[in-house]
Amino acid sequence: MVSEVETGSDEHLIREAEKIALALGRMFPGLCEVVLHDLRDPRHAIRVIENNLSGRQIGDSTTELGLARIADPEYPGVIQNYPNRFPDGRPAKSTSIGIKNAAGEYVAALCLNLDISVLSPVTLALSNLVATDTTHGDRPLETLRDRTARELREAVETLSAQRGATPRSLSREDKKALVRQLYQDGYFDSRDAAQTIADLLGVSRATVYNYAK
């Protein structure tokens, strides 16, 4: 038999959860439905419904998840980001949080139903906004910062080391390939880059430009 103390404790717990439901709903107006179910009375479970997107009312019955928790105290406490659907067909993303009392029994459930039909056009618009043209994907058309001489020297040394040699000991073909790689990577956009590369490779500036063609 449930004591008056236990009943009062459960009611206090649910009233505290009501504050959370109200706050969450008011943080996401028109976007996320927040519902608090009193699982002690499954036929009249809904205590709070903020941003009513499903058409339910205070005092309506609980859902299948609520009934599952009532039947099984070991049912998962949190089921997050599962696909759902509003009665009018709009897609939703839902999260259900079970609330247990001190005896380990589910007495309430806090449910969040996010209307993703509102977000889908925004997602598409943002995707289009950040998309880039892949026509020139093999090489950047420009870089948005100046390459320093130190970066250039490090790049030359790294590319030379990958070929098992120092910059000056590279073969003519390797030097040509290295210069073309530097050109593709945008190093020629910096001031005096060609002269710096020429000094590192031990060739003339004209030769560097010739290799870059």
DSSP, collapsed to helix, strand or coil, labels residue 24 as: helix
35-39, 151-155, 173-177: segment of lowest average pLDDT: 151-155
DSSP 44: G
Q: How confident is the model at residue 13 (pLDDT cuts 50, 70, 90)?
A: very high
Rounded to whole angstroms, the Cα distance separating 88 from 6 reads 40
DSSP character at residue 30: T
Query: Is residue 54 pLDDT above 90, yes or no?
Result: yes
CA distance 99 to 46: 14
Q: How confident is the model at residue 52 (pLDDT cuts 50, 70, 90)?
A: very high
For the segment 197-206, the average pLDDT, to the nearest whole number, is 91
Beta strands at 91-100 and 46-50: parallel, antiparallel or unpaired: unpaired
pTM: 0.58
CA dihedral angle for residue 35, residue 39, residue 44, residue 48, rounded to 10 degrees: -20
What is the rounded CA–CA span in Å between residue 30 and residue 138? 44
Under the banding of pLDDT at 50, 70 and 90, the label for residue 133 is low
What's the CA angle centered on 88, arms 86 and 89, to 5 degrees?
70
